[in-house]
Amino acid sequence: MRKIIAIVLLAVIVMGISLAVREIPFGKTDTKVGEYYLNEGKEETGAANIVTSVVVNYRGFDTLGEIAVLFTAAIGLGAVFGSRKKKKDAEEVEKSSLIVYTGCRFLFPVILLVGAYIFIHGHLTPGGGFQGGAVVASAFLLMYLTCRGKRIRDKSNKVVESLGGLIFVGIGLVGLIIGKGFLFNFLPKGEFLTLFSGGIIPIIYIAIGFKVGAELTGVLDNIIEESK
Amino acid sequence: MNVIIATVLVLVMLVSAIAALVFKDLLNAVIALSVVSLIAAVIFYLLQAPDVAMAEAAIGAALVTAIFIIAIRRTKRFEE
């Protein structure tokens, strides 16, 4: 009986979605706002990557909300896992083999460099703070898997995370002080397609990259420490 | 050409998604799930959304897989 109900429900949902999707004209710009971003975005923000100009400039306040969601999730996880008292290296952890250890030690800075490249060049090439931060966190994950027993310093991780958030909000508030509105692009646009262009966009994306990287690393640290 | 590649990728993705449901060994299921994420990243790239592809590859294929494997280590490996 339950299976029949599930199949009927699934059929209704599939029919609804397919009917809705058939009505949407994919690949055409029917919305005025999307066309505006494509045509005017480059001149207005100075960023070559239009996705970035939307995420950080036009919809910067939404991005602040996203950062806050991630921050809340990390804090919740820390509250659940971090409240238990830490075991003080009670057991000897088995060391990974020499080849794995050496290979990972060689790869770690390269992955960090890729992550940093992604979030520093967020306004020129695809990618940005979130993607770069995730890549940085995956580099730390590699370190956790190979150099077991080693941990990042809890305090410096928290300092980096807080500084990233503070810089984002601080730059937003400067725009408010000038009198143009929160997250107003007050810096000069610079030369198009160079690293120093786009006004506040690269600064905010670097802050987001550090913050997301530190947050995801903190989440991994909490979970791995708990799983010992 | 692009259509053929995309079709093959989607088929592999579907097979590994079903495999993730069917496998009794949860470790294999997690690996199948990360294959789904990886192919989703490639498809995002083919659909000209490299921003999303990067996020999917880094979070879906690397971090989520690691978190699942750590969770399996703390619980049971085999589904009953």
Q: What is the pLDDT of residues A152-187, one digit of tens each?
A: 888 899 999 999 999 999 999 998 998 888 888 888
Query: For residue B50, which residues of chain A lie inside 8 Å, CB to CB?
Result: 126-127
Query: Is 0.90 topped by the overall pTM?
Result: no
Q: What is the pLDDT of residues B12-69, one digit of tens each?
A: 999 999 999 999 999 999 999 999 999 999 999 998 899 999 999 999 988 999 999 9
Nearest chain A residue to B70 by CA distance is A227
Considering only the beta carbons, identify the residue of A51, A134, A226 that sits closest to B58: A134
Instruction: Give the whole-angstrom CA distance, residue A166 versus residue A173.
Output: 10
Interface test with A, best of B34, B51, B73 (most A CBs within 10 A): B51
Nearest alpha carbon to residue A51 among A112, A113, A122:
A122
- Other beta carbons within 10 angstroms of residue A219's beta carbon come to 19
- Prediction ipTM score: 0.87
Instruction: Give the whole-angstrom CA distance, residue A112 versus residue A117.
Output: 9
Instruction: Give the whole-angstrom CA distance, residue A107 versus residue B43.
Output: 26
**Gap from B73 CA to chain A (nearest CA, Å):** 7
Within 204-223 of A, beta carbons closer than 8 Å to B belong to 216, 220, 223
> Mind giving me the DSSP string for B19-79?
HHHH-SBHHHHHHHHHHHHHHHHHHHHHTT-HHHHHHIIIIIIIIHHHHHHHHHHHS-SB-
Predicted pLDDT of residue A68: 93
pLDDT score of A41 more than 90: no
Predicted pLDDT of residue A29: 67
Predicted pLDDT of residue A145: 85
pLDDT score of A83 more than 70: no
Contact status of A138 with chain B (Cβ, < 8 Å): yes
pLDDT score of A89 more than 60: no
Stretch A2-13: mean pLDDT: 95
- Of chain A, the percentage scoring pLDDT greater than 70 comes to 93
Nearest alpha carbon to residue A57 among A166, A194, A205:
A205
For chain B, the structural domain boundaries read: 2-74
Interface test with A, best of B54, B65, B69, B77 (most A CBs within 10 A): B54
pLDDT score of A99 more than 80: yes
Contact status of A73 with chain B (Cβ, < 8 Å): no
Predicted pLDDT of residue B26: 93
**Gap from B46 CA to chain A (nearest CA, Å):** 14
Beta-bridged to residue B25, according to DSSP, are B78
With contact defined as beta carbons under 8 Å apart, do A168 and A139 qualify? no
CB contact under 8 A, A137 and B63: yes
Query: For residue A134, which residues of chain B lie inside 8 Å, CB to CB?
Result: 54-55, 58-59, 62-63
Nearest chain B residue to A134 by CA distance is B58
Nearest alpha carbon to residue A93 among A15, A166, A164, A149:
A149
Residues near B26 by Cβ (< 8 Å), separated by ≥ 6? B72, B76, B77, B78, B79
Q: Is A89 in a helix, a strand, or coil?
A: coil
